[in-house]
Amino acid sequence: MEVIKQVNIIREKMQALRCSGKRIGFVATMGALHEGHLQLLRASAKENDITVCSIFVNPTQFNNPEDYKLYPRTSEQDIALLKTVNCDYLFEPDASEIYTQQTLLQFSFGALEAVMEGEHRPGHFNGVATIVSKLFHYITPHRAYFGQKDLQQVAVVRQLVQALSFDLELICFPTVREQNGLAMSSRNKRLTEEQRQVATNLYKVLQLAAGKLRENSVQSIKQEVAAFLQDTGQIKLEYFEVAHPDTLQPVQNVQEVKEVKEVALCIAAHVGEVRLIDNMLVNLNDA
Ligand code: AMP
């Protein structure tokens, strides 16, 4: 695996590969790699000639400076893991390489960014769209792999690809969980053993809510979710939403979305100082 830190070098390499007819698969990450990332990389290695992973803790998508400072950085371990999944190139730039001057560029994703992560993390999706656009330009992938763990991010990137005519296929993989249900996340590395246990309640409460969709109103499910997490004494709920699976707009009444047959249950909460998100797609025929 080749590690590249400069934009002009990754551009040259990718241009040459594309010209020689190679298919390029790409996985964008912020590092501290885990099985959630590795499944994307394995799929890319299987479905393309060349696999590129980027590791870049992107400052412009953090609305909380402390979160940026404390984000786990485990470069050596990551490189060892990447070698196990047949990754061909790691693009691991410094921030000064990516942001050579302050950018004033503003994206708008309309209603999609007015809810959940967009609402609670001002500027987050602007930062995401900026870095994803830059990476797509440098790497020119044929296929880009993302995780359902960041469901709203996938919807934003889908809108971005469509709006800016990026010539690539976007592929989304399901959330990989620990055996106890906790969604794998780089931020889990900041949790104590006890907090990791407490955090499994996020998945439990999603399951609980999924089981009540058919019989109960969204309003009463929201109240139950809040009460369940309050009872843990250690989880501060930021939001829980029942949302349309594509537009991510809130659903007040599950009957409204019967024709799409699915809703997304989305949650964000703090366990200690660490902010975690999770979601679950629920088929209304099963609920
Ligand atoms: P991150 O490094 O957290 O920015 O994530 C990089 C990519 O991996 C994103 O597309 C995430 O959605 C995806 N990802 C992160 N955690 C998981 C997980 N537990 N399961 C599936 N995909 C994930």
The model's pLDDT over 218-227, given as tens digits with 9 standing for 90+, comes to 999 999 999 9
User: Ligand 1: does its nearest atom lie under 6 Å from the Cβ of 149?
Assistant: yes
Which of 30, 37, 57 most suits a substitution to test ligand 1, by most atoms within 8 Å of the C-beta? 37
pLDDT of residue 98: 98
Structure tokens at 229: 């997490």
Q: Rounded distance, CA 38 to CA 246, Å?
A: 25
Q: Annotated catalytic, 137?
A: no
Across 112-116, 195-199, 260-264, least confident range: 260-264
Q: Which of 246, 283, 243 has the alpha carbon at shortest distance from 266?
A: 243
Domain ranges of the chain: 2-173, 186-280
pTM (whole model) above 0.85: yes
- List, in order, residues 6 or more apart from 272 with CB less than 8 Å away: 191, 192, 195, 234
CATH of domain 2-173: 3.40.50.620
**75-88: per-residue pLDDT in tens?**
999 999 999 999 99
Q: Spot the catalytic one: 37, 124, 137, 142.
A: 37
**251-265: per-residue pLDDT in tens?**
988 877 767 789 999
pLDDT tops 70 at residue 44: yes
**Region 17-38 average pLDDT:** 98
Q: Amino acid identity, residue 264?
A: A
pLDDT of residue 256: 75
Q: For residue 255, what are the β-bridge partners?
A: none
User: Ligand 1: does its nearest atom lie under 6 Å from the Cβ of 184?
Assistant: yes
pLDDT tops 70 at residue 68: yes
pLDDT of residue 24: 98
Structure tokens at 54: 């980027």
- On the 0-12 / 13-18 / 19+ scale of CB atoms within 10 A, 228 is middle
**Region 116-144 average pLDDT:** 98
- Give 102 or 162, the one with higher predicted confidence: 162
Please say whether the beta carbons of 44 and 160 come within 8 A.
Answer: no
Q: Which of 238, 197, 205, 244 has the alpha carbon at shortest distance from 63?
A: 238
pLDDT tops 90 at residue 52: yes
User: Ligand 1: does its nearest atom lie under 6 Å from the Cβ of 29?
Assistant: yes
pLDDT of residue 91: 99
Q: Rounded distance, CA 245 to CA 40, Å?
A: 21
User: Ligand 1: does its nearest atom lie under 6 Å from the Cβ of 175?
Assistant: yes
Per cent of the chain over pLDDT 70 is 99
Fold of domain 186-280: Pantoate--beta-alanine Ligase; Chain: A,domain 2 (3.30.1300)
**Region 17-22 average pLDDT:** 98
Q: How confident is the model at residue 287 (pLDDT cuts 50, 70, 90)?
A: low
**Region 267-278 average pLDDT:** 98
Per cent of the chain over pLDDT 90 is 93
